[in-house]
Amino acid sequence: MFVVVLLFLTVVLSACGPATDEIIGNTVSGDYVSEALDVKVVGSSIGAGITWLICSVGAGIGIGLLVNWLRSQNRMRTDKAPLGPAVLFGILTTILIFGLAAAWASYTKVNPGEVGVVLRQGEPKGTLNRGPHFIAPFLDEVVLFPTREFTFITMDKPIERGSEQYRTFNMEIRTSNGVIGNVPFLVQAQVDPTKAEYLYDRYGTLENAIVQLIKSSTLSLVRDVVRDKTATEIATDIDKYNDDIEIELRKIMEPKGLILINFSFRKPDLGPWEIERNDAVVAEQTIEKNKQLALAAKEVKEGENYTAIIDAQIARETAKGTADSAITKAEGQAKVVKINADAEAYSVITRAQAEAEANLLVAESLTQDLIDYRKWLIWDGKFPSTYLQGSDTGLLLELPTQ
């Protein structure tokens, strides 16, 4: 019997389960919107509670009848089974089913990258951060807003899917000098969790908030910026106005629940004017390049002429230096020869004078005694070994005369 009741509860819970994860972020603008911007509703409404109650009562009655029938099978056909146990089983079944359904409807979970707005009969009653939560069953619902960063971008073909979460068509502009084109731009933003309740109360879905706060606002701000600019200014200096638009856009978005992360222009598309301008720029660059080549050739030629002049000057200076060096060398050699000759003559004269004076002094001082004395000084003390035969005068000595 218990198995029969369990199977019956399973069937009832499957058939009468509350509606959860209902997506309410359907596209309303006709532009491409990624699933990352979907807003979901979880929980059960009062209608689901009534449905559960009806299902629970019906299940209780069915269980009561089943119990009564089973009890009747164990008795004689003439006896009637008392209704007390059947009614008790029916009430318990009703309470059990409705209690399980209420517990199931009261539990909700907010995933990372989401913020939940609690709705009680359609009226915002606060926000839920990530994690498990319990709400009033069949009275409260939770609207889940994605809080991760998303990208809004304008382009020619927004239906082509890419990494951006929201794509819309480029806005046509007219410059101050009459050029028609478009200026693509990109906005990065995210939901402010602290203002999620206001965001839902004011806009309902995230896509609607993007349309009102980002799309409409940026188109207006971009038109104001480019209205008094020439095509050349837009083509060359459009990035200069990123900060100006970002300041104004932040004032619009952030008080109403969207945090602006970045605004930036992309490359403008100015149609035929841009093609003509690019051709003109290429022509100017070619002319400038030719001028630079001509100047370079002229500088090379002037450099070659200057080099020739310098080389000739160096040759003249070198020849002059060589000649001056030869003259200086010859003069130096002549001076050296003259000095040497003078020195030699002076030396000869001086030597001759010295010898003459010496001879004169010697002659004046030379006497016979001095001569004899010098002879004795140089005598070696040896006598001659022979005598003169027949001489009676005695021994004859031959003394040196030096």
Q: Which of 121, 146, 171 is the last residue of a domain?
A: 146
120 and 165 part of one domain: no
Q: What is the CATH number of the domain that holds 195?
A: 3.30.479.30
Residues 6+ apart with CB under 8 A from 168: 29, 31, 32, 152, 153, 154, 158, 215
Please state the φ and ψ torsions of residue 269, each to the nearest 5 degrees.
-120, 105
6 and 120 part of one domain: yes
Return d(Cα 57, Cα 55) in angstroms, integer: 6
74 and 201 part of one domain: no
115 and 229 part of one domain: no
107-110 vs 123-128, strand pairing mode:
unpaired
* Cβ–Cβ < 8 Å for 68, 83: yes
Q: Which of 146, 174, 207 is the last residue of a domain?
A: 146
8 and 112 part of one domain: yes
Maximum separation of any 2 CA atoms in the chain, in Å? 223
Please report the pLDDT score of residue 381 as a whole number: 66
Asked whether residue 356 is domain-assigned, the answer is no
Asked whether residue 83 is domain-assigned, the answer is yes
Please report the pLDDT score of residue 17 as a whole number: 46
Return d(Cα 175, Cα 182) in angstroms, integer: 10
Asked whether residue 32 is domain-assigned, the answer is yes
Please report the pLDDT score of residue 259 as a whole number: 96
Asked whether residue 396 is domain-assigned, the answer is no
Mind listing the pLDDT tens digit of every residue in the chain (402 residues)? Answer: 444 555 555 554 444 444 456 666 555 555 778 888 888 888 877 877 888 888 888 888 888 787 777 777 665 444 565 667 777 878 888 888 888 888 888 888 999 999 999 998 888 889 999 999 999 888 889 999 999 999 999 988 777 767 788 888 887 888 888 888 888 999 999 999 999 999 999 999 999 999 999 999 998 898 888 878 888 888 888 888 899 999 999 999 999 999 999 999 988 888 787 776 666 676 677 788 888 887 887 777 777 777 778 777 787 777 777 767 777 777 777 777 777 777 777 777 777 777 777 667 666 666 666 666 666 666 666 655 554 455 555 555 555 555
21 and 82 part of one domain: yes
111 and 12 part of one domain: yes
34 and 114 part of one domain: yes
39 and 62 part of one domain: yes
235 and 156 part of one domain: yes
Q: Which of 234, 269, 304 is the last residue of a domain?
A: 269
Q: Is the whole model's pTM more than 0.75, yes or no?
A: no
10 and 123 part of one domain: yes
* Cβ–Cβ < 8 Å for 181, 274: yes
Asked whether residue 51 is domain-assigned, the answer is yes
Asked whether residue 73 is domain-assigned, the answer is yes
Residue for token pair 């149609």 = 271
Return d(Cα 327, Cα 299) in angstroms, integer: 41
Tokens of 329: 């060398």
One-letter amino acid at 258 equals L
* Cβ–Cβ < 8 Å for 29, 169: no
Asked whether residue 319 is domain-assigned, the answer is no
Please state the φ and ψ torsions of residue 76, each to the nearest 5 degrees.
-70, 155
50: three-class secondary structure by DSSP: helix
Please report the pLDDT score of residue 200 as a whole number: 93
- The strands making up 150-155's β-sheet, listed across from edge to edge, are 32-33, 166-169, 150-155, 185-191, 258-265
59 and 26 part of one domain: yes
Q: Count of domains in the chain?
A: 2
CB under 8 Å, gap of 24 or more: what pairs does 155-160 form? Answer: 155/184, 158/31, 158/32, 159/32
Q: How many CB atoms lie within 10 A of CB 5?
A: 18
Structural domain span for residue 216: 150-269
402: three-class secondary structure by DSSP: coil
Asked whether residue 260 is domain-assigned, the answer is yes
* Cβ–Cβ < 8 Å for 291, 299: no
CA angle 163, 169, 174 (to 5 degrees): 130
